[in-house]
Each structure stands twice: as C-alpha cells, then as structure tokens.
Amino acid sequence: MAIYQSMTDLELLDLLGKSDENAFREIYYRYWKVVFTNAKKKLDDFQDAEDLVNELFVSIWKRRTHMPEIQSLTNYFKGAVRNQVLKYWGMKYKAESYILEQQNKFYVQESVLQNDLEYKELELEVNKAISSLPEKCRLVFELSRVEGLSQQQIAAKLGISLKTVEAHISKALKILKIKLGKYFLIFFL
C-alpha cells in the first residue's frame, strides 16, 4: 500500500504497536535486505543469515505490543542483528561442543568395548592353549600360575620331584609360547 510507503519509521512503529499487519509488512520490505546483508557479513552463510533475519522479524511481530521505545529502526536492527548473531554463535558453539563431547564419549566407550572384547577373545585363546597341554603338564602349570603355588609346594602336593615340576613348567611355557605367539608375553611374564 502506497500510504504505508510514505510513512516514517516512527509512524510505522506506532501502527505496529496496534498490530497493524500492513505497517509490519512495510517495515519488513523496507529493512529486510539491509538486515540480511548485515547478518550475512557477520555469519558468512546465506542460509543461516536468512534464518536469523526471519527469526528476528517473527520476534518483532510477536513482541509488537511490547516493543521498547525505538527512535531509529536502522540502529535497532543493527543491535538486534548483533545480539542474534551472538546468540547464534553461542548456540552453535554449545551444539558443536555437545556433539564433540558425545562423539568422544562414544569413541571412548567403543574403544573400551573393543579392548574388552579383544581381551576376552585373547583370554579364551589362552585358556584353550592351556587346556591343550598334556594333562600332568597342565596340572603343574595351573598350580604354579593360577593358584600361585611354589615349585616345592607343587612337588609335595603331587608327590613328584622338584626337577619334574620344573620340567613340566618349562614344557608348558614352550608349548604356550608357540601357540600364543606375541601374546604369550602379556600373560606369562
């Protein structure tokens, strides 16, 4: 409407306070491009700037009856864009920080689960290797490494010589070293 185009900003603001949609529309048409250009410079992203400007105008319409005393729409929009941009960067920073934090938690949990799974698989391999030892050799080895008995205690418990205990432990370690390869050191040193 031509009548609104000829009005001053203050007249339009007065009508906006009375919920005049045409006054709002004129303010929008008059300032959208300037506000968008300002936002685009600060955000350097077309879509984000457009969203910010649209949110700003929606906010103005929602607060139309509670707008502060505005003497200059140009100055008002400069300040409003600055505030919206700061709010945008704050929210974006929080969102990115949150995402990074969640990704880190996920990777740590995944790593722990992976390590736990690998350890359990390795433990199964070790138990399988121990189970494959000859019976007497396995018994001596388990008494030594699992139950923590000394060679003298094992000899006394099984009624065999100390040399026989040493021979069984030595044989068990050689077999396990071959079967477990590089993982042998993790469990038996």
Residue 15 CA to residue 85 CA, distance in Å, equals 28
Shared domain for 83 and 162, answered yes or no, is no
138-180: pLDDT as tens digits: 999 899 988 889 999 999 999 999 999 999 999 988 988 888 8
Nearest to 19 by CA among 53, 56, 60, 50: 60
| pLDDT reported for residue 146 | 84
Residue 137 CA to residue 147 CA, distance in Å, equals 15
Q: Can you give the CATH number for the domain in which 65 is found? A: 1.10.1740.10
Would 16 be classed as within a structural domain?
yes
Domain boundary among 99, 122, 145: 99
| pLDDT reported for residue 162 | 92
Shared domain for 81 and 8, answered yes or no, is yes
Domain boundary among 54, 81, 99: 99
Shared domain for 153 and 80, answered yes or no, is no
Would you say 48 and 37 are in contact if contact means Cβ atoms under 8 Å apart? no
Would you say 5 and 22 are in contact if contact means Cβ atoms under 8 Å apart? no
Shared domain for 137 and 89, answered yes or no, is no
Structural domains in the chain (count): 2
| pLDDT reported for residue 153 | 94
Amino acid identity for residue 112 in this structure? V
- Is the pTM higher than 0.75? no
Q: Which residues of the chain have pLDDT under 70?
A: 1, 68, 106, 108, 112-113, 184, 186-189
| pLDDT reported for residue 113 | 65
